Structure 1
């Protein structure tokens, strides 16, 4: 039995188990993940591991012939946009989880190379996992955090978003866990201001307004070096988000574009407020769903989508990498 109280372990056997693995370096990563995988294989539990390509290679070597019984996916692909990770877990759970057969997974969405904006959305993802699978049959997800490579405040945030923390093989209840959104990941947490040179352009309901917006985006995207496919993706995402502004944001809004690092950023703001589910844009829409497709599609088309909504209005920032 682990250090966690017996009644707490029984509680987690009936619910989604979301744990942070704190490790330092390659050896500790393997020491923390390989036994977790083997424990699941011993119980014939389907297992999905979503980490980077280097770690996948190391895990395959450590598992030997058992590696063929494990599903692997590269987090650099699955989690390029952090909003796509929950749908991947949902797909795996829906395909393999049954009341009488748990599943388990390992997912490392946060690494030292993540940019500041990506990091906050990854932290939102970690918190929203607790919402997405609150009513699920029991399954286990272990989220590794490299405490040598990550800043201390990032590790502190992991303690707030994971009910249980694992270190050197010992599982402990996190005293800092918050079921509500941790501060950096809140929907009403303000985004950094747009650069001064990114002047706003207003748009409003009218003839051909969406076509004019797409042309506006195309001109700027090409000037900033986006290729044809990336430009098309951004134009389509803007079309979806601007349509939401016209329908639900008072029939008008503003658009800004700028280049930030190796990405083109397009910001759309309006006076509306988002009152939907916290997983809006992170759940695949159903065929009979009335709304929510626009933000879902934006997340499939863009490398990062930031959504913030306050009484003053809603802002959506779309990031598309230039490939530079």
Structure 2
């Protein structure tokens, strides 16, 4: 699933498994080329980790992470086949104080420049975008 807005400078796809530490290491290695500052990189890695964790917790544990380095931005698409995430507005508001759930997508929206939630018969995709430094 591409966002249709430019040619890939680089592209990788990883399966999502219970080894989130390994996934984060692969993400950081991919982001080297993007030349994010330390805070931006950490924010993006955290957001991706939250999205991958949601796949493990809510969709039977199977999914993929596709990362694309495009002109001016990095786009990550976290896809699961279960398709349970259907609300494109999920995470728009901070969860109530004391809530035990609902922080993941809200955190992604807080950390990334853009978050889209897409749903089709093939499943659900969370698309996270981080703009590159000027």
Change (3 A) 1:308 1:276: closer
Partner of 1:218: 28
Partner of 2:11: 198
List per-residue Cα deviations over 1:186-218 (Å, max 9, x = no partner): xxxx8636967624211223xxx1111111111
Q: Does the 8 Å contact 2:89/2:117 carry over to 1?
A: no
Cα separation, 2, equivalents of 1:225 and 1:322: 8
Residue from 231, 256, 261 that aligns with 2:66:
256
Change (3 A) 1:254 1:277: closer
Change (3 A) 1:277 1:192: closer
RCO higher in structure (CA 8 A, sep ≥6): 2
Shift of the alpha carbon at 1:277?
5.2
Q: Looking at secondary structure, tell me which structure has more strand per residue.
A: 2
Partner of 1:291: 101
Cα separation, 2, equivalents of 1:313 and 1:277: 13
Q: Does the 8 Å contact 1:256/1:268 carry over to 2?
A: yes
Shift of the alpha carbon at 1:247?
0.8
Residue from 42, 49, 52 that aligns with 1:242:
52
Shift of the alpha carbon at 1:310?
2.2
**1:212 match: secondary structure:** helix
**2:116 match: secondary structure:** strand
Count, aligned residues: 132
Change (3 A) 1:278 1:289: farther
Change (3 A) 1:268 1:276: closer
Q: What is the 5 A alignment of 1:66-105?
A: none
Residue from 282, 291, 316 that aligns with 2:126:
316
- Which structure has the larger Rg? 1
Cα separation, 1, equivalents of 2:124 and 2:85: 11
Cα separation, 1, equivalents of 2:85 and 2:120: 10
Shift of the alpha carbon at 1:278?
5.1
Shift of the alpha carbon at 1:261?
2.1
Q: What is the 5 A alignment of 1:129-278?
A: 192=3, 198-205=11-18, 209-275=19-85
List per-residue Cα deviations over 1:219-263 (Å, max 9, x = no partner): 111122212111101110011100000011220211111212211
Q: Calculate the TM-score normalised by the size of structure 1.
A: 0.37
Change (3 A) 1:316 1:276: closer
Change (3 A) 1:269 1:278: closer
Unaligned runs of 5+ in 2: none
Unaligned runs of 5+ in 1: 1-189
TM superposition outliers: structure 1 runs of 4+ over 6 Å: none
List per-residue Cα deviations over 1:13-61 (Å, max 9, x = no partner): xxxxxxxxxxxxxxxxxxxxxxxxxxxxxxxxxxxxxxxxxxxxxxxxx
Q: Does the 8 Å contact 1:227/1:322 carry over to 2?
A: no
